[in-house]
Amino acid sequence: MQVSNEELANKSGNFAGPNGQHQSGDGQPQVRQPHSQSTMTLDRSDQVWTWSADEHLAGFAVWREMIWEICSYRELLGQLVLRDIRIRYKQAIMGFAWALLMPLLIVAAGCLVKIALAHASGDNVDLPRVAGMSIKALGWAFFAGSIGFAANSLASNMSLVTKVYFPRELFPFSAVITQLIDTCVGGGFLLILLGFFARISISVHWLWAVPVMLLLIAITAATALLLSCANVFFRDVKYIVQIVLTFGIFFTPVFYEPELFGPHGSFIMMLNPLAPILEAFRLAIVEQHNLLLPVVAESHDGVQFATWHIGFLVYSAVISVGGFLWAWRYFHKMEFLFAEYV
């Protein structure tokens, strides 16, 4: 049974009246007094309720309010994720096979590229490199799928955004969580294939995949928050997002390894915050390499250079975690303006 917007409104505990007043279930105007000093005031001239954040609310108090709101509305977040999953797979003949389609298409495209390069150089197709590309394709599919749904999440839920109060970040968060479920399904299927065809066995270095996955979720959530917020004020953002996601895979080392570009090109390629994360997945799962140790390659002119060292992952961690905290704080600051622009 599909969850309607009205049901979601009731899940939030309050809903808007005819004049935009937030009312409780018995129809009485309700002044929300959350954990912080954020208050709702009645504009006597327009007879509408308006939110105003306490100007003195800053620092730790703001973060306490944001975390408290997410915890309080966790049931609504679960309902949004459940609704997104039902909408995505309702009346779909392939069902959860759609979760495998996008990574498989990316892997198929990458295989064609590698076969063409191997044919041009006269070498055979390297199976471990194909396996590594498959792992990175799954990570890219998670990022691209999450951003594709999250960027338009606020605009597509206009009726809820304009009438019901709850943390607006639930929409981009639900898009990321829904895509994460798809990725887990695809990841399990991919690991079975890699174990069967590439003879990749379980290693203790697979434990690196846990913190690396958390970094990927953090940078994806940060990007989703910023783009969904920007799409409220500038509707051409969703078109830009589609263009960037279409060509972004060529600027991210998914189909190839960074060392192909030489010492300087490899370093520049790793400045993309997604690049060290995807490379870390490949090294830990396929190469079963300890990420604390560097990986050195040799260029055509005999120059040795590091294609991997832990500093790359630290750089991505700073960008991912710092970007997520900043994006969430900025989103929370701007969410009180969303109803006027959606």
The span from the CA of 24 to the CA of 33, in Å, is 13
Would you state the pLDDT for residue 308? 93
Higher-pLDDT residue of 235, 31: 235
What ranges in the chain are assigned the alpha helix state H?
A: 5-11, 60-72, 74-89, 98-121, 127-150, 158-163, 170-197, 209-233, 237-248, 262-269, 274-281, 310-334, 338-341
Is pLDDT at 42 greater than 80 in this prediction?
Answer: no
Report d(CA 222, CA 220) in Å as an integer. Answer: 5
Give me the pLDDT at residue 209, please. Answer: 94
Contact 29, 22 (CB under 8 A): yes
Q: What is the pTM of this model?
A: 0.81
How much is the pLDDT for 282? 93
For the segment 284-297, what is each residue's pLDDT rounded down to a tens digit?
999 999 999 999 98
Tens of pLDDT, residue by residue over 318-335, are: 999 999 999 999 998 888
Rounded to whole angstroms, the Cα distance separating 146 from 141 reads 8
Is residue 312 within 8 Å of residue 276, measured between CB atoms? yes
pLDDT, average across residues 204-231? 95
pLDDT tens digits along 130-163: 888 889 988 999 999 999 989 988 888 878 877 7
Per-residue CA distances from 132 to 123, 152, 194, 212, 255 (Å): 18, 32, 10, 15, 9
What percentage of the chain carries pLDDT values higher than 90? 35
105: region left, alpha or beta (phi > 0 left; psi from -120 to 50 alpha): alpha
Is residue 9 within 8 A of residue 164, CB to CB? The reply is yes
Would you say 332 and 61 are in contact if contact means Cβ atoms under 8 Å apart? no
Over residues 160-203, the pLDDT tens digits come to 877 777 888 999 999 999 999 988 988 888 888 888 877 888 88
Instruction: Look at 65-79, 109-123, 196-210 and tell me which has the smallest mean pLDDT.
Output: 109-123
